[in-house]
Amino acid sequence: MIASTNAISLIKDSESVSLVPYNCPAGHATIGYGHLLHRRPVTSDDERITWSLEHADNVLKLDITVIERELNKKIKVPVNQNQFDAIVSWTFNLGIGRLVEGKCSWLRELNRGNYSAVPELLKRWNKATMNGVLTELPGLTKRRAEEAKLFAKPYPEEIV
């Protein structure tokens, strides 16, 4: 499967775009549509970087391609386009390193065929470590709710 425009819109709306590096809420250098430069704050070298909007869009497409490939390996059950789009957005935000079935509750339940458990499990991932403290972030809570809603939304082909 590949991400649809729904996934890309959800990512773009959640991330917004910055053509210069900034520190994400977790304090990591980020640019474009949430593209991680490195896992530490923006440095003086980073401050010299400027992207065009076209470059940010191209990097987003490349990042999504990597996620699609990984999800297509990790998901062992059929999913519809809405379900796939929701978890593409989740994975874009949290990283493919989180897709470990023994540790990722929604992936484990999805692969067991427990589709109904996934939306609530997606919502649990709404925190970031800030100053050493795990903190709920309103923006992540909103994003997880949108992903959960999209995952649970029937895809038109499924309607009988």
Question: Residue 18 class from Cβ within 10 Å (0-12 exposed, 13-18 middle, 19+ buried)?
Answer: middle
Is 15 marked active-site? yes
Is 68 marked active-site? no
Angle between helix 138-152 and 5-15 (nearest 10): 170
Q: How many helices (H) and strands (E) does the chain have?
A: 6, 5
The single residue of 24, 54, 109, 157 carrying the catalytic annotation is 24
**Amino acid at residue number 87:** I
Cite the active site residues.
15, 24
